[in-house]
Amino acid sequence: MSVILELRGRVIKGGRAEGEALVSSQPISFYGGVDPDTGIIKEKGHELEGKSIAGKVLVFPHGKGSTVGSYIIYRLKKKGVAPNAIINQRCEPIVAVGAIISDIPTVDCVDTSKFKSGDWIKIEGDKIIVERR
């Protein structure tokens, strides 16, 4: 692996995390779009439908849907199937609250098109290091 990018973003929930990237160009609705017991995307027609977010660095432009989504993120964390970290282009309040109450490092104000699923991502505060295999 070699470092291909080092980026900075705005910290929504600080911390350190790393993991394999799971990238979507589409927004994600946690309420109704993600199975809270398994961490699998279940929204019909979503580009990540059938994929698990558990243990991944989840990269997507922004969230969508009901405010209940914050509690779905919390439930994912309690079940052990939450992402290790979240990177957004624009983190709206639903994802921000979910990340904060679930202690999931989250960064936004980042160009999410620079990431590919399978990248290895390390987050430390506002610094994001991307390694490509």
29 is catalytic: no
Q: Which two tokens stand for residue 76?
A: 């994912």
Could you tell me which residues are beta bridge partners of residue 18?
Answer: 122
Spot the catalytic one: 25, 29, 66, 113. Answer: 66
φ, ψ for residue 8, nearest 5 deg? -130, 145
Query: What is the set of active-site residues?
Result: 66
